Structure 1
Amino acid sequence: MPKMKTLKSAVKRFRSTSSGEFKKKKSNLRHILTKKTSHRKRHLRSKNLVSKSDKNHVRFFFPYI
């Protein structure tokens, strides 16, 4: 049976933690930044964990993690 392939687009978007969860970058920090407050932009810079409902879906993309 051939090796299962990792979804390469998911590799660029998610990182796994040592406890088996996944980190992701928050959205809404690419363009149209003038109308967003500094407080909002500063908090969007931090990483976020994938929710429990999406965790199994993301795990499907990484067959060997």
Structure 2
Amino acid sequence: SFIVTMILGILAKVAPQMNMFSVGIQIKILIGVFVMYLSCRMLGGVSTFIFRQIQILMKQFTNGMIA
């Protein structure tokens, strides 16, 4: 968000005739949706990894209790 604000500030200096408030809101929304998309794409792989690690640890734990 800070980087987007910095870029919008630079654009406001370069092109002062543009209304950066209306343009900035739309750009921030698009970037937010894009970040959410990337997060959801990565969530499947991360959750699979976590559940596999939990399964391995539980097997080790139960084997340790039996032995």
Q: Is the structural similarity TM-score above 0.5?
A: no
Structure with more helix by fraction: 2
Question: TM-score, normalised on structure 1?
Answer: 0.29
Bigger Rg, which one: 2
